[in-house]
Amino acid sequence: MVLMREAGKIAAAALVETGARIKDGVTTAELDKFIRSFIEKHGATPSFLNYQGFPGASCISVNQEVIHGIPSKDRVIREGDIVTIDVGAFRKGYHSDTAYTFYCGEVSENAKRLCEVTLTARDKGIAAAVIGNRIGDIGSAVENEALTHGYSVLRDYTGHGVGTHLHEAPDVPNYGRPGHGVRLCEGMTIAIEPMITEGSEKVYTLPNDWTVVTADGKLSAHFEHTVAVTANGVEILTLP
């Protein structure tokens, strides 16, 4: 667990530092360059770089882009955008994975509300990650928060186990039935990551074969922590 904490702190710090650099006119390529440099300077490797051919050190997704946005010098962030940065760090054999949706300047009330609900959904999912509960308890907590506010959760993509590999069993869906699914046991490390949309849950992948966007063009938010299930309750491993 010590090594997981080290990897988690590096990824979390990279996320915070990068979020502070979001401003009108910055490109996603510039942010990604900073992320790679930051992680490497702290003795780790970006988990996403070249993962299954992904070209960036991070995924940076803007507005209706849900996940897997490819950093590009042509993707310019503008005032009013919401920007999801998803980053992982690999250190001494272990990965971490964390994401946050940031504001670029002043954003719409609709965007704020979506992000606030998604953040709360993540925290409720984390609170359900205790010994004896099941994966369905996490998903149910996330889904109920989203549906209560009129939003949708993605069903095509899920959270996952994290450890010596970036993506491991079990899958951690953002929907489910309480008391169903894999039982949570001491020592499990998982990524809980609600991806919640303003409109329909339907998405499609752009021709770049990576970036997933909402089918109706409405906004999406994404928040993620890597957590450990321990005898003393859930421990968040991706806190700065």
For 195-225, write each residue's pLDDT tens digit: 999 999 999 999 999 999 999 999 999 999 9
pLDDT at 240: 86
154: pLDDT strictly greater than 90: yes
pLDDT tens track for 104-134: 999 999 999 999 999 999 999 999 999 999 9
pLDDT at 58: 98
Q: What is the band of 29 on the pLDDT scale with cuts at 50, 70, 90?
A: very high
CB atoms within 10 A of CB 18: 22
State what percent of residues in the chain have pLDDT above 90: 99
pLDDT at 1: 85
Q: Are 96 and 47 within 8 A, CB to CB? A: yes
Show the domains of the chain with their CATH numbers.
2-236 (3.90.230.10)
**Average pLDDT, rounded, for the chain:** 98
E strand or H helix at 178:
none
What's the whole-number mean pLDDT along residues 150-155?
A: 97
Q: What is the band of 96 on the pLDDT scale with cuts at 50, 70, 90?
A: very high
Specify burial of residue 169 (Cβ count, 10 A radius: 0-12, 13-18, 19+): exposed
Cα distances (Å, whole numbers) of residue 121 to 72, 108, 173: 30, 20, 13
pLDDT at 15: 98
HEC assignment per residue over 144-157: HHHHHCCCEECCCC
